[in-house]
Amino acid sequence: MRYLHTMVRVQDIDASLHFYCELLGMKETRRIENEKGRFTLVFLAADADEEGSVETQAPLLELTYNWPAEGESVENYEGGRNFGHLAYRVDDIYALCKKLQDGGVTINRPPRDGHMAFVRSPDGISLELLQEGDALPPAEPWLSMENTGSW
């Protein structure tokens, strides 16, 4: 297992980039603008991690900006909703999800695509699990398993 990134939701992308990049000295390593999903993802690396993070895409801070609907204001994240999840790349997502499930952990977002799953820690922290390399071929029981709860 390898640590990838921590995601936080932000209300003002420019103010956040000013704080993290200009004031703290982090570096933007990549950006994803998703019009269909109506969000922007900005990945930041600490200056000492920048060179290695370009190749490994880790360790990073992911800033997520959810675009407001036409005429609406940006969501005010309360109660910790600004914190999103921890992300880890894993060798075998199916084997790990089975181990977690066998250990009593609910698979909130099953790895139906052979690539991504979400679970929660005992304290309710959301963890994103991502398959190392190419996605595994879709397989049961994950393929037909429904989402449970939220992540």
Find the catalytic residue in 35, 50, 78, 128. Answer: 128
Answer yes or no: is 75 a known binding residue: no
Answer yes or no: is 85 a known binding residue: yes
Distance CA 5, CA 85 (A): 8
Q: CB under 8 Å to 52, separation ≥6 — which residues? A: none
* Entry field: residues in the chain: 151
Answer yes or no: is 128 a known binding residue: yes
Specify the amino acid at residue 93.
Answer: I
Distance CA 95, CA 33 (A): 32
Q: Is 128 known to be catalytic?
A: yes
> Binding-site residues for Zn(2+), please?
62, 85, 128
Q: What are the residue numbers of the active site?
A: 128
Q: Annotated binding residues, as ranges?
A: 62, 85, 128
